[in-house]
Structures are given as C-alpha cells and as structure tokens.
Amino acid sequence: MGILKSAPQAPRMNAHCERVIGTIRREVLDHVLILNEAHARQVLATYERHYNEHRPHRARSQLPPATDQQPATVHNLGGSRLLRTRILAGAINEYRYTA
C-alpha cells in the first residue's frame, strides 16, 4: 500500500491529525521557543510522555492513554501534600498528592 497524501489546505481530509497538531501547537509550541531540530525533537518527546502518561482525555473518561484505572482518591487532605512537577520549563504542570 502506498502513501495517501491529503490535499493542501483541506483540514477535514485528515481531522484526527489536524486535531493533534492543534493540541500540540496550543499546549506546547505557543509557549516554547524552539531553537533547532534536536530541541524540537526533545520538546515533542517530553510532551508525548506527558500526553500519554498524565494528561486526561475526555474520550477515555478523564484517563490518560497509558492508564486503565482512575488514581486512588485522597480523602484525608490534611496529612498529604500536593506536589507539582514542572514539564517543559513550567509550560505544563503536573500535580499529584503524596502521603
């Protein structure tokens, strides 16, 4: 099977790709200055890890793609701390509770 090319300036021909490209642009590329190809690959790899392991998706009932169940609910918030992990120099933040 050969490569199927989409027509230029026809976003409805490949709506899934256009949606992902728009998400990457809004969440990452609008906030990070890309210096060269190696930097672009590193930024996109970091975002891919975040997208698949942490970011919730509406189509999966707010679960990340790499997870099969919701994280445990924390009922006693007085004894736990909220930790923030900065991704891409703070362009994205991930939050989780610790004991």
The 10s digit of each residue's pLDDT in 36-77 is 999 999 999 998 888 877 777 666 666 777 676 665 555 566
> Are 6 and 13 within 8 A, CB to CB?
yes
Residue 3 lies in a domain: no
Quick one: CA torsion of 57, 60, 64, 70, rounded to 10 degrees? 120
Q: How many folded domains does the chain comprise?
A: 1
User: Does the model's pTM come out above 0.75?
Assistant: no
Residue 86 lies in a domain: yes
Domain ranges, residue 17: 12-98
Residue 76 lies in a domain: yes
